[in-house]
Each structure stands twice: as structure tokens, then as C-alpha cells.
Chain A
Amino acid sequence: MKHLLDTHDLSIDDIVNILDVADRMAEVNRRQVPKVPALKGKTIATVFFEDSTRTRLSFETAARRLSADVLTFLASSSSVNKGESLRDTIETLSAMGVQAFVVRHKSSGVPLQLSQWTDASVINAGDGWHQHPTQGLLDAYTITREFGTPTSLAGRTVAIVGDIKHSRVARSNIDLFTRLGARVVLVAPPSLLPSHVETWPVDVRSTMDDVIDNVDVVYLLRMQLERMQSASIPNLAEYTRLYALTPERAAVLQDHALLMHPGPMNRGVEITVDPADVAGSRILQQVTNGVSIRMAVLFTLLGGDSVSSLTAGGEA
């Protein structure tokens, strides 16, 4: 595996393998000294053309815990403002000796395009409405580990609630969850569902109350407040009434049900209950797991150049 651009590129074996490697990384992260020399000498550049503090810091933490060097490129403070093209930016960084680019961009397909301009590995850290593969992997990791079924989500129902249409997180999660065997239910007003949703391998419900008492996972998406301007929903109060996780709805969750959110949360919009009061909340665990998953992805892409012909016989 050279790049991580889209969850659809991963086979089930790839997915299970990354989750398995993440278990090892989680063990590293629990140590007194959470750092191993696995990627010593590698340079990883985080290239963010769209603001995202938590994803960038998660990747940078992951890279440092594997002893890689990290370059941070923020478009907001770079020569992009002087008119430098995407291609020149990536070729310049490549020339400095970067082995992997972690890319976030508001336009779908930018990481794929960049992967054609560099010999380095490219990891999609979110592109437009398209994909956010490491978020999907960390969410699949969180759920499989919580339920103690490391290779499957068979028999589980996950409700993904909110703005599905504009959500790359939803697209990555739907693909991974369904291929691991889960049933996915989308809960959203019709205006926030993608066109052709009927061709997706999911069920659709129009209010939270239809699903809240019979799902294994409630996955809330961030209600992007800027959507208000495009008139996708009449007003936030209406959205909150029908789709938010309220204390009343939290009270009817099944005992084992998990509450998840990719962050950052809009308290009072998609969630009006304090997650600290919901026993099944794994929102902070998702953040912790995110570092382990990103370590696993970096290690899988960069850890082995796999020239096995040089190995000698027996134990070294």
C-alpha cells in the first residue's frame, strides 16, 4: 500500500490489518514513554489547505511517537498566498526529502491529484465532501474494540445523524461500517441527504425518535453552521428538536449503546445533553484512538520498504 486516499481502495484484509496494527500502537501510547524509533529518519509533511487543528495535531503526534520528523505546512501562512500553485508547493516539499504528505483540502480529489505529482506517499486527511479515511478507520477501531469483535461489526446497527450530504466523515464511515458487516441507518432531513442516497447500502429515517432506542451506536455529525446560509434547513431550533441528542433521547439509549462524534461539537445544536452524562460516550476515546490509527497508517505506509530478498536465514 503506497497511499491512503479513499476507504474504497482498502480491502477487508487491509482494514483488519490496520486495526490490528493500531492495537500495537495503542500499547505504545499507554507506556510511560510513548515513543518508538520505528520511523526514525523519515520526514512527514502535514499540508493543510483548510483549517483543522485536531486532525493535524493528531497526525503530528502520531508521526512524532514513531520518531519521524514533521514539517507543518499551513496554506494560510504560506506562499500559496503569493500565488504558488499546488503542484509547485508539493514539488518543492518533495525536493526537501519528504516521504509522506498528509493532505487536507476543501476540494474533493486534491490528494489523488497530488499523489500523481510526487513519489512520496499521500494520506488523505479530508478532501471536500469526498473522504476522510483515517476518521473512518478510527471510528471502526473504536466500535470494534468497544464491542470486542476486532474483525467484524456484523449484527450491529449504527445510526449516523446529521448533515450526511456535505460530510466526508459519513462517506468514509458508511463504506467501512457496511463492509465490516454493520447495518447503517442515516438520520437526516431530506435536504441534508445526498442525491441518489437510495443507491447507498443504508437505511434512511427522518427523525431521531425512529431509531434512538434500538441502535448500538449513535454517531452524531457536526452541524456545519454555514449550511444555514444555503437554506438547507429552516432553522437550528427545528433541527435540534428533530435530530439532536437531547437528555430525553439519551435516556432511552440501550445500555450498551455508544455515543460518538467526530468533533468539534456544537453543543446546543446536534447535542444538548452533556456527553459526560452519557455512559456510552466514546467521544474522547475517539480522539485517543485517532492517534493510534494514524500511527498504524503511517507505519503501514512507511514502515517497510519490503526488500525481503536481503534477509539472511534464521533469527537475526
Chain B
Amino acid sequence: MTTTAVDILGADDVSRAITRISHEIVERNPALDSVVIVGMQTGGTWIAKRLCESVNKIVEGANVPLGAIDISLYRDDYSLRPVVLSAPTDIPVDLTGRTVVLVDDVLFTGRTVRAALEALNDYGRPRAVQLAVMVDRGHRELPIRPDYVGKNIPTHFSDEVAVGPNGVTVSAVAT
């Protein structure tokens, strides 16, 4: 069994993607003061933080809040995986009437996003939820699509996708 790893994006590509997505967020949301950016624990939080900083730099005087959400208590697959609670949820504002930009590193089956949508509702009723991901790797099992994508990457189901500030790597496990 061998593993081959391919670097898809470098650190510069990741930075450019974050800058581009933050401009898209500003363009799509003229009422920027109702937007809140929420990163999914733990892979999405650093991206959410950088998006938030970028958005607040693009628009003078903007003060878009940053939150984090842990969905481990909302998963539908406890019986399929060990329970690991990740870092805690921190939603700084009532979400009722807000536009939430939900941020994750990789969009795959969509089950994490489904769980996050359920979790968000427990913090208020958002007016809208938009989804931003660094990588869309396909293989959706639910009717969920991203609003902002860093990079679409076709993958095999068994591939592993690693996303970090230094880049994106896809590892294929060949037997």
C-alpha cells in the first residue's frame, strides 16, 4: 500500500483565495452590518478569522463579528466514529435576523454542514446562511452547495484532503 501526496495549492494561493472570497462576501452582502462570520471547529476557524479580518479591511468602518461553532453534539453518525469533542462554540451575537457566513476548510459529504445548520438555529434564527469553503472535493450525500469556494478539487472518496495556511494537499491511498 502506498500513499501519494499532491500539493494542489500553495500558501500564496490560499491567501489569494481568502482575499477573493472576502471581496465576494462584501459584494453579495450590501448590508454588511448584519453579517456574522462563523468558523466550524476546528478546521474552519482560522479561515473564518482571516476572512473576517479581510472583510473588515475592505470596508472602512466595518465591524463584522467572528464566531466559532462546534457541531460534535449534532452529528448523525455517532455510531460510525469515536466521539471527539472539538474546541467550544462561541457565538458572540444573537443570530436572529443576521446573515451567517459559515466557514469550513473542506466540503465533502455535506453532513458536517447539515449538523452546523441545526446547531446555528439553537442560537437564533438567521435571516440567511451562506457557506464558504476553501476546498469543495465533491461526493455530496445531501442537497448542500457552497456560496464561496476557494478551489474545486475532484477527488476519490477515499482520498485525504489536508488544508492549512501553507496550502492544500490531496493524499491518494493506492493499494
Interface set of A (CB-CB < 8 Å, partner B): 20-21, 23-24, 27-28, 31-33, 35-38, 66, 299-300, 303-308, 310-316
Contact = CB atoms under 8 A, between A and B. Distances in A.
Nearest to A42: B78
Interface stretch (B26-34, B46-54, B104-112): B104-112
B43 A311 contact: no
A37 B79 contact: no
A119 to B, nearest CB: 16
B70 A24 contact: yes
B159 interface: yes
A305 B123 contact: no
Contacts of A31: 122-123
Contact of B161 (A299, A304, A311, A314): A314
A20 B124 CA distance: 26
A314 B73 contact: no
A207 to B, nearest CB: 44
A30 to B, nearest CB: 10
B83 interface: yes
Nearest to A305: B79
A312 B72 CA distance: 17
B89 A27 contact: yes
Contacts of B106: 314-315
B160 A313 contact: yes
B73 A24 contact: yes
Q: Which are the 7 A-B pairs with shortest beta-carbon distances?
A: A304-B83, A315-B106, A36-B73, A313-B160, A38-B73, A305-B79, A314-B161
A204 B48 CA distance: 55
Given A24-B85, A306-B83, A33 B122 contact: yes
Q: Interface range on chain B: under 10, 10 to 19, 20 to 34, or 35 or more?
A: 35 or more
B39 to A, nearest CB: 13
Contacts of A316: 77, 108-109, 111-112
Nearest to B156: A313
B81 A303 contact: no
B82 A38 contact: no
Given A21-B85, A24-B85, A35-B122, A307 B74 contact: no
A311 B122 CA distance: 27
B118 interface: yes
A17 B19 CA distance: 39
13 contacts: A21-B85, A24-B88, A28-B73, A37-B118, A38-B74, A304-B81, A307-B79, A308-B80, A308-B81, A310-B80, A312-B108, A313-B160, A314-B160
A313 B159 CA distance: 6
Contacts of A21: 85
A308 B72 CA distance: 15
Given A27-B88, A31-B122, A315 B157 contact: no
Given A303-B83, A314-B160, A315-B43, A38 B78 contact: yes
B158 interface: yes
Given A27-B89, A32-B124, A315 B161 contact: yes
Most chain-A CB neighbours within 10 Å: which of B74, B79, B104? B79
B98 interface: no
Nearest to B89: A27
B6 interface: no
Given A31-B122, A38-B73, A304-B78, A315 B108 contact: yes
Given A313-B160, A316-B112, 18 more contacts: A21-B85, A27-B89, A31-B123, A32-B124, A37-B73, A299-B83, A304-B82, A306-B83, A310-B80, A310-B81, A311-B80, A313-B157, A314-B137, A314-B159, A314-B160, A314-B161, A315-B112, A316-B109
